[in-house]
Every structure is written in C-alpha cells, then in structure tokens.
Structure 1
C-alpha cells in the first residue's frame, strides 16, 4: 500500500493532482483544502496517501496532513459515505471544524457538503460522535510528551482542544460528552481561549442546570 508520496507536482485539476515520483506519475484525488495548498507545477510536494483497492481499480487519495487523512478514514467508515462524499465534506470543513460539528451534533454544518443530504449528515454525526472523541484523546496522548517544548496556543490549536477533552475524561466524564462540552465552550469563548479557560467553561456545560 502507498502511504505517502514525495515528488514533484506535474499538474492538477479541480479534484486531482499528478505527482511525479522518479519519473512515474501518480494520479491523486484530494479535497479542495488539500489541493489549494499545493505548490506550482514543477515544485516539490508531499502528500499523505490513503490507498483504496477495489476489484476494478486502485485509487489514491491525498491529504495535506495526517489529521485530514484520519478524518477521511472515519467518514468513509459511515454507511453511505464513499470517498467522493468524504472529500466533499473535507472540502467545506477542516478536520477540527468537522470534529466540532460532530461533537455538537451539528448536522447542518455537515450537510453543507455537495451530495450530503440531511439524513446522511445526521448519520455522520450520530455514528462518529464517540469515534471523534476517541480521536481527540489519542491526539492528546500523542502530544503529551512534547507539551513542555510546545508553544502556548489558543483553543484554535487542536492540541488545546484535545487536552481539554482529556482533562474532562480524567474527571470521569464520557469522551463523547467531554468532546461536546468542549465544542460548546469554545464556541462561547472564541477560538483564542486557552486551556485554563476552556476546561472550567466545559465543566459548566456538563453541570446539571
């Protein structure tokens, strides 16, 4: 399986790019977000790849970062969400924005994507709520070792959101509930809120009124 391509951009279109690796051109499909970040033709490019093998074709899907690739994998695990629809969703929502929409059960945000109706959007937010919370916890665990050297950032940084979810789970809240509370807290406080503000606000969301 191809997991990453590093080469030179040969050409690109609305939903594809050709990456020249040692004289071999690989056709890669991608989201609008990823394709808009590609350099000009003839310049170096690196893409994280998801290889999909079917009886009649081997198709490569490229992503600017691991976060987008991981969200693509989650999306395509939902019945009715194929690769094309997954890319359409990631073209209108960044991975962090999609995580927030799922945590908040905001099917309207997901339904903005081409080819996604209300029923499919509802299925996406329902089926992925717990999985997205787990993904946040995994990201928090993987970044914990580098926390001392990492620069301080606002809640717009996914690591701050993930750390907030992890803190709530350590207080015995369910991951899905923690993720939803953090999503609501960030919406209220703004993207620049730091961890010290985000956690108390999320706890208020979790407290019975």
Structure 2
C-alpha cells in the first residue's frame, strides 16, 4: 500500500491533485483546503490512504499523518465510506472532530454534507471511545501544538519561511484570542484564511 508520496505538483483541482514522483503521475483526492494551499511545480509530501475496490484504486492524500489516521478511523463507522470521510475532514480538522464527539455536538457533525442527524448519531456512538484512545481529544497544550503544526505546514507549501510562518501564526493566535475562540477547534481552512489575511511579516 502507498502510505506517502513526495514529488512535484503537476495539476491542481479543487478536489484532486496530480503529484509526479520519479516520472510517474499519481492522481490523489484531497480536500479543497489542501488544494488551496498548493501551487503548480511546488514540492509536496502527502500522507496517503489507498482505497482498493473491485474496479478501482483511489488515493486520498493529507498534509499530516493525523488527518490520514482520522480519515481511516472515520470509515470504521457503519455507512461511512471514503468520500464521506473526506467530506468530514474538508469541514472539520481532526481536533475539531474530536471536540465535537467529546461534547456530543450533533449539530456540528450533521452540518457536514452527507452526514445528517442519523449519521452524526452513529459517529458519536461508534467513535467516542476510539477518538479518545487515539489521542485526537488531546490536552489543550497538545491541541495548540497540533493546529500550529498543521497551519505551519500549509503556509510552508505556499512558500513561507519558518520565520514568516511563525510570525503569521502568532497574529492568528492573537486574533482568535481576542475573539474568545480556541484555534484548536477551528477548521484548517479558516485558520489559513486568517493567516493569509495577516500577510507576510
């Protein structure tokens, strides 16, 4: 199975990219948030999950291992396949998903396209203990570190140096603190928008 790909971005769509690795182009399904961080010709590492069916093989790619692990874990819920699992991660980060499960927030889960109220209830029932044991519902200091790492990786793929990324992330942290919002519970796409609005330092 293909667990990781490192190569050059050759094609970008809202839900997929083509990554060239040693002369071979791999079509990888991604979330819109991931796609938005990419640029043609840039180097990229994706942590991948391969779904094999009788008539197809599909690669799903993520910017960090935790997102891939969450993607695979969500599919253990009855009635949830890879496309719905990807939709969940397009709307919720692993930390925000864990938070929704820990707080039994059916509204948060059912707001994801393809889930609905019954699907949200199944997720709560089947994943609550598993998310806790996998470390997704982590202490606040760990969650803070994870959102910073995810955002830093997204900014790096856009050409930000580590120093510039850290400066912008600090601005995001201050902005969220001023609004009384924990960035660890925010979607990566929202964090990235806030970071880009802050500009380069």
Same fold per TM (> 0.5)?
yes
Structure whose CA Rg is larger: 1
Distance change (3 Å), C-alpha of 1:128 and 1:19: same
Q: Partner of 2:51 in structure 1?
A: 52
Q: TM-score, normalised on structure 1?
A: 0.66
Q: CA RMSD in A?
A: 2.6
Q: Is there any run of 5+ residues in structure 1 with no aligned partner, and where?
A: 141-151, 160-188, 194-209
> Are residue 111 (structure 1) and residue 110 (structure 2) matched?
yes
Distance change (3 Å), C-alpha of 1:139 and 1:98: closer
1:14-29 equivalences under 5 Å are 14-29=14-29
1:1-209 equivalences under 5 Å are 1-38=1-38, 40-136=39-135, 153=141, 156-158=144-146, 191=182
Residues 66-122 of structure 1, C-alpha deviations (whole Å, 9 max, x = no match): 111111011111111111111111111111000100111112111121111110111
Question: Where in structure 1 do 4 or more consecutive aligned residues deviate above 4 Å?
Answer: 137-140, 152-155
Q: TM-score, normalised on structure 2?
A: 0.69
SS in 2 for 1:101: helix
Distance (whole Å) between structure 1 residues aligned to residue 137 and residue 112 of structure 2: 27
SS in 1 for 2:111: coil
Report 1 or 2 for greater relative contact order, CA contacts < 8 Å, sequence distance ≥ 6: 2
Distance (whole Å) between structure 1 residues aligned to residue 137 and residue 91 of structure 2: 24
